[in-house]
Structure 1
Amino acid sequence: MKTFQLEGTPRTDLGKKAVKALRKQNLIPAVLNGGQLVTLPYDNALKAGEKVVEIANNQALIVTDFTVSTESVRKLVYTPEIFAIDLTIGDKKTKAVIKDIQFHPVTDAILHMDFLEVNEQKPIIMEVPVALEGHSEGVKAGGKLSLEMRKLKVKAIYSQIPEKLVINIDNLGLGKTIQVGELHFEGLELMNAKNAVVCAVKLTRAARGLQAKSGK
């Protein structure tokens, strides 16, 4: 997985007015989740932007609110590629991935970004692009190749997640499909339904005619 350098600024004013003012400055409110797990009550000093969020049984996570500029994330967001992010927030440096992005329903502007802190011990779930390689038998016979799932959800340590999932289609025949349950990638657990169709070679009118003439 490629690495992306990103700098953010800690954010302490979390009100609606503050968010509106940030967006006027082409700044995007963001939050870093998945940080340090602590026991409540937590009396240690927090850094700028950090807050303690209770999860259950007096356990809490330290999450960080911050901002990033629209320009700084453009190449991170508007791309089919996935990245491990070297994220700097004030004097805090960590590894992260994008967890979620909220877009404006009309303008498509980025309203909010959620990042997930990662490490070499805890697996994460990410969507990874699918790439087909080879020359399908079904396409040679007149069929039409259809990619039904452009991304698959995988679970793994972040450093083991590839930039794309390559699937060979040489043996994919006319009218046949490749389902999630047929796939295997070393070190990755696929989280989609096993019967979900990833790609297929569909019958075209020309292919049906050839089949009828050949009697198959």
Structure 2
Amino acid sequence: MNTVSLSGSLRENVGKKDARKHRRDGNVPCVLYGGKEQIHFIIPERDLTQVIFTPNSYLIALNVDGKEYMAIMQDIQYHPVTDIILHIDFLQIFDDKPLIISVPLRYEGSSKGVLQGGRLVRKYRKLKIKGLINDIPDEIVVNITELAIGDGIKISELKYDDIEFLDKPSSIAVAVKTQRVIVEEEEEEKAEGEGDAAEGDAKDGESPKEGEGKKE
């Protein structure tokens, strides 16, 4: 995996008031877990742009007050209105322990089905995989050259040594379909959604059965 270096400073105090102060100063409160103990620290918000606003997954070489850790970003919490970064969870990783991470899919080649007028339908942008850090690829490359109209590639058909795919094996990662088929599938999904909603409304409107009363 590609590696990005980040430096942070330990937090002297942990709490909401302290966290708000750090944010006002342009820092993001963070926590590193997965090791012997949790480590609370801050990172300048400007330094995080390179690893947050990207579809790629990175291995983080994390320096906190001179101590080095290898980690991945596990979770980012944003403010619901302003989208300001409120908090980041980092997971410490080790060479001998497998980790679970989502990596981007990259489709290469020109599908013959698309050249014949079909449309490429990408079902997944990322896949969840499990493996040792040294075996985790930067991306999963899928060759679509031989995909004709009506063809698809299942997740179970993707072959990579030393990693395990965790998404449903029978799921289609990518397919080539005609516009007519795509429209039909969209209409079916819409009809199913409306049917489920109508069924839910009907249940909500049912009267209590005899002998049933309101719960106090």
Normalised TM-score (structure 1): 0.80
- The answer for the alignment partner of 1:33 in structure 2 is 33
Partner Cα distance (2:172, 2:89) in 1: 29
Partner Cα distance (1:107, 1:198) in 2: 34
- Secondary structure of 2:38's match? strand
Please show how residues 175-190 of structure 1 align to structure 2 within 5 Å: 175-190=150-165
Q: Does 1:130 align with 2:105?
A: yes
Q: CA deviation at 1:32?
A: 0.4
- The answer for the alignment partner of 1:73 in structure 2 is 48
- The answer for the alignment partner of 2:198 in structure 1 is none
Q: CA deviation at 1:204?
A: 2.2
* Letter aligned with residue 28 of structure 1: V
Kindly, what percent of the aligned residue pairs are identical?
38
Q: Give unmatched runs, 5+ long, in structure 2.
A: 181-216
| Higher-helix-fraction structure | 2
Q: Does 1:20 align with 2:25?
A: no
- Secondary structure of 1:139's match? helix
Q: CA deviation at 1:108?
A: 1.9
Partner Cα distance (1:141, 1:117) in 2: 48
Q: CA deviation at 1:109?
A: 1.7
Q: CA deviation at 1:176?
A: 2.1
Partner Cα distance (1:104, 1:144) in 2: 38
- The answer for the alignment partner of 2:135 in structure 1 is 160
Partner Cα distance (2:136, 2:79) in 1: 29
Partner Cα distance (1:171, 1:100) in 2: 37
Q: Give unmatched runs, 5+ long, in structure 1.
A: 37-61, 206-216
The CA RMSD over aligned residues, in Å, is: 1.7
In the alignment, which of 58, 62, 71 is matched to residue 96 of structure 1? 71
Q: Which runs of 4+ in 1 moved over 4 A?
A: none
| Higher-strand-fraction structure | 1
Q: CA deviation at 1:76?
A: 1.2
Deviations 1:38-69 (A, max 9, x none): xxxxxxxxxxxxxxxxxxxxxxxx11011111
* Letter aligned with residue 151 of structure 1: K
Partner Cα distance (1:142, 1:123) in 2: 43
- The answer for the alignment partner of 1:51 in structure 2 is none
* Letter aligned with residue 45 of structure 2: T
* Letter aligned with residue 95 of structure 2: E
Deviations 1:118-143 (A, max 9, x none): 11100001110000011212112210
